[in-house]
């Protein structure tokens, strides 16, 4: 797109602002109304960063979600106490501690993934394939822009 705004530019800009301002609030509200009301959205994003498929160190997770090591330790302790994650010592080197999800953590992880899939489904519903491709390209452009902004600021892109 060139620098000349389309007739829809302001409308799209306004709607993007609405999305950015509301999606996390709605996600937090959905979490509070669920079986998992004992965790915050920040806790959920910690669980999401650990993921079901690979164990990570606390420092890896802290970098991914932009927490200091001490804040990460506090978050981990809270999620261990609530039964969502566990610390697992390496069999090869007992000094190495990895984080993994418990059964309860895997259940909330799947529910969180489903929340995001539902958002995507609703974004794309009733669109023909050509429009879905256009949305895909637009979102790709937005992600590329965000990645570039982070790189300019010297912050890692860990997502």
Domain ranges of the chain: 9-125, 134-159
Do residues 112 and 47 touch, judged by C-beta distance below 8 A? yes
Token reading at 119: 């958002």
Question: DSSP class of residue 156?
Answer: -
**Calpha distance 116→122 (Å, rounded):** 10
Query: Which pLDDT does position 158 carry in this prediction?
Result: 57
pLDDT value of residue 157? 58
Mean pLDDT by 10 residues, the chain (159 residues): 74 91 90 93 94 88 90 96 94 89 96 94 94 95 88 63
The whole-model pTM stands at: 0.82
Third-level CATH fold of 9-125: Arc Repressor Mutant, subunit A (1.10.10)
Looking at residue 1, what is its pLDDT? 53
d(CA 45, CA 122): 22
Model pLDDT, residue 155 = 65
């Amino acid at each position: 797109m060139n620098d000349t705004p389309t007739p829809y530019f302001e409308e799209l800009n306004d709607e993007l602002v609405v999305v950015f301002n509301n999606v996390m609030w709605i996600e937090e509200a959905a979490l509070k109304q669920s079986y998992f009301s004992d965790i915050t959205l920040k806790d959920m994003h910690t669980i999401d960063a650990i993921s079901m498929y690979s164990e990570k160190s606390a420092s890896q997770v802290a970098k991914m979600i932009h927490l200091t090591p001490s804040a990460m330790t506090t978050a981990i302790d809270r999620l261990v106490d609530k039964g969502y994650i566990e610390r697992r010592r390496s069999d090869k080197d007992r000094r190495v501690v990895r984080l993994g999800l418990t059964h309860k953590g895997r259940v909330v992880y799947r529910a969180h993934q489903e929340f995001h899939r539902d958002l995507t489904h609703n974004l794309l519903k009733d669109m023909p394939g050509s429009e879905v491709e256009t949305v895909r390209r637009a979102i790709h452009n937005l992600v590329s822009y965000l990645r570039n902004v982070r790189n300019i600021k010297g912050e890692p892109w860990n997502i």
